[in-house]
Amino acid sequence: MFGRKAQKPPYGWISYRQNLLVLYEDLEERDDRIDALIDKTEYRGKAGRPSFAEQWADVNQIELRLFRLIDDTRLLAETERKFIEAEEMGLEGRAALRKRFDEAGREPAGAEERRAIAITLLEEMFVKYSYRFAEREKRGEVSGRLTRLGLLIIGLPTALVFFGPLIEEVPSLFSRPDADSYSFAPRPLENVYSSLSWASSKFGAFFVVMYFGIVGAYFSRLFGYAKKMEKLRWADMDLVYAPGALWVRLLVGAIAAVILFFLMMGNILSGPIFLEGDFSLWQVPDAAGGGAGAPQPLLPLRPTEDFARLVVWCTLAGFSERFVPDRFAELEESARGSGNKPAD
């Protein structure tokens, strides 16, 4: 459910490989290992093409071996270009390598040291690029995971609310008065949707509370990811947005909403904006005008103000990781203050 296919190679990768081939063609010396890697990374259609991670590692090996074979003049030019590229990509260790490379000078005596520094620079750039590509793929994986989870949380209950009662009535849509004929006898719409009245009970409200706590927890993770997506590192995404971590966050949201519900039912949290103990989640609206020919409402059961308050507070309890714990902290301080109050 939470898997994802690997992404395609980034734009410009083919040109990068072609530049290495041009550099290799300028050499008089041939290298069997480079020839084998070039043949391995040659495009042969989707069926015969290795994964991008494997291709990227192979092309990096081509570049490393080329830097061992090119002459010192070409090495200086290519290394300068690599330092510019390293600065653009924000490589952390480029300044130290730049300093060592400059200290080696341009004399033939420092050729081997310059070559070693250039190879080290290539290796660090390869790690940086690999990490960047892994983060890009992880972002796509997390985005798909959150999308599927949202469809599960929002889409499935919505479908059950709107189509569940109708599906239950399918067997009763046809009555069989005799063995030779069928007659279409649909029930009135208000009778069909009367099965939603179970939510008016305290037992039904309990499930409404948990559901919107889960919705709040999901929105919390979704908004946080959308806000910090470009700044999140691979390790953060792998930890915070792992399937297990997401399910735990949804569970915490449901529990927080249930606790808040009991705080309101016990009048521990009270006021005009909170839900009171005697509440009703659904109401049956009267037909306009009250006459026999007055139009009937589309849904005979209409949410009440109590339902709206319950949805808002439960979603908030699931969304905020500190809302319910802060209420507990306030209750603890209040209890301590009452316990320390001297008797009259």
Residue 4: its pLDDT value, please?
42
Share above pLDDT 90 across residues of the chain, in percent, rounded to a whole number: 24
| Nearest to 251, CA basis, from 195, 213, 282 | 213
Contacts of 331 (CB under 8 A, 6+ apart): 268
Q: Please tell me the least confidently modeled range out of 36-45, 160-169, 209-218, 289-298.
A: 289-298
Q: Is the pTM of this model over 0.75?
A: no
pLDDT band at 7 (very low <50, low <70, confident <90, very high): very low
> The tokens of 55 are what?
């291709």
**283 pLDDT higher than 80:** no
Mean pLDDT of 113-136: 90
pLDDT band at 193 (very low <50, low <70, confident <90, very high): very low
Q: What residue segments make up the domains of the chain, in order of their start?
A: 13-138, 188-340
* Bridge partners of residue 184, in order along the sequence: 174
Residue 305: its pLDDT value, please?
82
Q: How many angstroms separate the CA atoms of 204 and 281, rounded?
A: 9
Sign of the dihedral through C-alpha 89, 92, 95, 97: negative
Residue 284: its pLDDT value, please?
60
* Bridge partners of residue 283, in order along the sequence: 302
Helices (H), the chain: 13-25, 32-40, 52-69, 72-89, 94-103, 111-150, 156-168, 189-192, 202-228, 234-240, 243-265, 305-319, 323-340
CB-based contact 59:16 (threshold 8 Å) = yes
- Could you please report the per-residue DSSP string of 64-130? HHHHHHS-HHHHHHHHHHHHHHHHHHT-TTHHHHHHHHHHT-SSGGGHHHHHHHHHHHHHHHHHHHH
The helix (H) or strand (E) run that includes residue 176 is strand 174-178
Mean pLDDT, the chain, as a whole number? 77
Q: What are phi and psi of 183, to 5 degrees?
A: -130, 140
Longest Cα pair distance anywhere in the chain, in angstroms?
107
**176 pLDDT higher than 90:** no
pLDDT band at 295 (very low <50, low <70, confident <90, very high): very low
Residue 189: its pLDDT value, please?
46
> The tokens of 96 are what?
């130290």
Task: Give me the amino acid identity at 244.
Answer: G
Residue 162: its pLDDT value, please?
67
Instruction: Give the residue with greater pLDDT, 137 vs 192.
Output: 137
pLDDT digit string, tens, across residues 125-169: 998 888 888 888 899 899 999 999 999 998 877 776 666 555 555
Residue 135: its pLDDT value, please?
87
CB-based contact 172:278 (threshold 8 Å) = no
Q: How many angstroms separate the CA atoms of 125 and 94, rounded?
A: 9
**217 pLDDT higher than 50:** yes
Instruction: Give the residue with greater pLDDT, 313 vs 162.
Output: 313
CB-based contact 154:222 (threshold 8 Å) = no
